[in-house]
Amino acid sequence: MRHLRYSKSGHLMREQRRAAQRPSRETLVRAGVIVAAVTLPTLVALVAPRRDQRPLAPAAAPSGQVLAALPPPARPEPPPAPAAPPPPELERVEARLADGEALSTALQRSGVGADDTSDLVRALKDHVDMRGLRAGASFSVVWRPLVTGARELVRVELRTLSGEGVPRTVLVEREPAPITQPEVGARFLTRHHDAPIETKVEGLSGAVRSSLYQSMLEAGEEAVLVNKFVDVFAWNVDFYRQTQRGDEWRVVVEKRYAGGRFLGYGKVLAAEYVNAGSAHRGFLFDAADGMHAGTYDEEGNALQRTFLKNPMEIARVTSSYGMRFHPVLGKNKQHQGVDYGAPTGTPVWSVADGVVKEARFSSTAGNMIVVQHMNGITTEYFHLSKFADGIKAGARVKQKQPIGLVGNTGTSTGSHLHFGMLRAGSHVDPAKQKFPNARPIPKEYRDELQRFIAPLLAQLQALDRA
């Protein structure tokens, strides 16, 4: 066995050899960088899928089972917003116009300020006839309370009538000032709503005890209906002289309503007047082709004649044709016409088509008009207060065209119309003259007329006899 001997110098030599075999720090750093550069891509490649490699599909569920998708994690609900404070309740003040009170005064009495009142009245002028407002007209003022304790005007509602008498509600609302122009201030916007108009057909009847006028008023109707009824028979019945106690009347007429309020009469569709046992009937007919229209009896005879019985709406006869005691001259004298008592301003119409022969003032006849008609007939209209526009010598007039107004001019003791008639230059009694009817309806329209008037005739006959 060989024994090794180590000397101090030998030990040093062994240490040097070991140091030479051991890698330096620089060598280890360089080796680590190289290993990292080689190893990291390899690890990434092992973890990340290749571009040509599809991602692994989830494991298939066993046959007959469905894998439920996991719900997304619930998001926390936001806290509820604080409840808005309820809007303040509007205050409503109801009021009416007092007798003789202006709307502006009534508004200020209801708490509306002077400036708002002025603006409101200005806004209402295009929708309301201020002068037509009457005592009792109602209105509402609506206010909004403010947090300061004051209140702000919101709107005004006015209930009135239109020019035709239709119930109308006018609403005036405050519009806030524009945000971009606060200096403009608030203004009022106005609109209105009229109640819809409804037309109803009604049948009415009655009996004459003193006069046709009084009989219709007692039946709850208005004087306008009297005149419409008389117009139907204006060529055939003289209601000033022929009316007798016990006469009967029936009428089928249109009535117009709005908001439960009666507005007036429309067309008289059918009428019947039984005078001294003789029945007169008239039906308003308009052919489907528009070629024939008028008032006819059951046989198709036109009720219209060439001359009307009277030159004005129903009035009282104060003096008939013939010998009488003249109230101005104070002696008996032939009265060459018929006097109709009527208020000054009552319209007077021509009884037939014709040409104005004279329209002038006379010291005895006052403002007088003379109209020349066909067949040598002339009519006179004396004591007028005024001539109608366009009435002068040479003017053409139509039947029932207004030519003047009743007055008290010339030799007269009161407001009335003197109506005279001449044939071939000689005065005659207008009440005793007979004039031909207009042409009857053509034969080809008779069947249409009969079908049209059948339900109206049945309605007339069904009306109670008073």
Q: Give yes or no: residues 383 and 404 share one domain.
A: yes
Alpha carbon 181 to its chain centroid, in Å, reads 36
Q: Is residue 461 domain-resident?
A: no
pLDDT at 354: 93
Q: Is residue 292 domain-resident?
A: yes
The tokens 């004459």 sit on which residue?
A: 208
Report whether pLDDT(57) > 80. Answer: no
% of the chain beyond a pLDDT of 70: 79
Range of the domain at 337: 316-432
Min mean pLDDT across 220-229, 265-274, 290-299, 308-317 is at 308-317
Picking from 245, 263, 296, the residue at the C-terminal end of a domain is: 296
Average pLDDT, the chain: 83
Q: Give yes or no: residues 357 and 277 share one domain.
A: no
Q: Give yes or no: residues 220 and 279 share one domain.
A: yes
Q: Is residue 173 domain-resident?
A: yes
- Among 30-39, 42-51, 167-176, 428-437, which range has the highest average pLDDT? 167-176
pLDDT at 221: 94
State the burial class of residue 103 (Cβ atoms within 10 Å of its Cβ: 0-12, 13-18, 19+): buried
Q: Give yes or no: residues 137 and 181 share one domain.
A: yes
Report whether pLDDT(127) > 70. Answer: yes
pTM > 0.75: no
Q: Give yes or no: residues 324 and 418 share one domain.
A: yes
pLDDT at 96: 93
pLDDT at 183: 47
Number of domains in the chain: 3
Phi, psi for residue 13 in degrees, rounded to 5: -70, -40
Q: Is residue 346 domain-resident?
A: yes
Q: Give yes or no: residues 141 and 128 share one domain.
A: yes
Average pLDDT over residues 427-445: 85
Domain at 357, CATH number: 2.70.70.10
Q: Is residue 257 domain-resident?
A: yes
Q: Give yes or no: residues 152 and 176 share one domain.
A: yes
pLDDT at 2: 47
- Tell which residue, 222, 226, 228, 232, has the closest CA to residue 211: 226
Average pLDDT over residues 121-150: 88
- Name the helix (H) or strand (E) containing 316: strand 316-319
Q: Give yes or no: residues 120 and 106 share one domain.
A: yes
Report whether pLDDT(327) > 80. Answer: no
More confident residue, 66 or 199: 199
Picking from 160, 195, 230, the residue at the C-terminal end of a domain is: 195
Q: Is residue 67 domain-resident?
A: no
Torsional sign, CA 228, 232, 237, 243: negative
Report whether pLDDT(179) > 60. Answer: no
Average pLDDT over residues 390-401: 94
Domain at 229, CATH number: 3.10.450.350
The tokens 């004039």 sit on which residue?
A: 435
Q: Give yes or no: residues 176 and 217 share one domain.
A: no
Average pLDDT over residues 396-420: 93
Those residues whose C-beta lies under 8 Å from the C-beta of residue 400, and which sit 6 or more positions away, are 308, 349, 350, 351
Q: Is residue 437 domain-resident?
A: no
pLDDT at 384: 97
Q: Give yes or no: residues 179 and 203 share one domain.
A: no
Secondary structure class of 250 (helix, strand, coil): strand
Average pLDDT over residues 154-162: 91
Report whether pLDDT(58) > 90. Answer: no
Q: Give yes or no: residues 176 and 227 share one domain.
A: no
Alpha carbon 341 to its chain centroid, in Å, reads 39
Average pLDDT over residues 254-278: 93
Report whether pLDDT(141) > 70. Answer: yes
| pLDDT tens string 340-391 | 999 999 999 999 999 999 999 999 999 999 999 988 899 999 999 999 999 9
More confident residue, 368 or 6: 368
Q: Is residue 466 domain-resident?
A: no
pLDDT at 181: 52
Picking from 151, 172, 195, the residue at the C-terminal end of a domain is: 195
More confident residue, 95 or 315: 95
Q: Give yes or no: residues 146 and 109 share one domain.
A: yes
Those residues whose C-beta lies under 8 Å from the C-beta of residue 316, and which sit 6 or more positions away, are 240, 340, 341
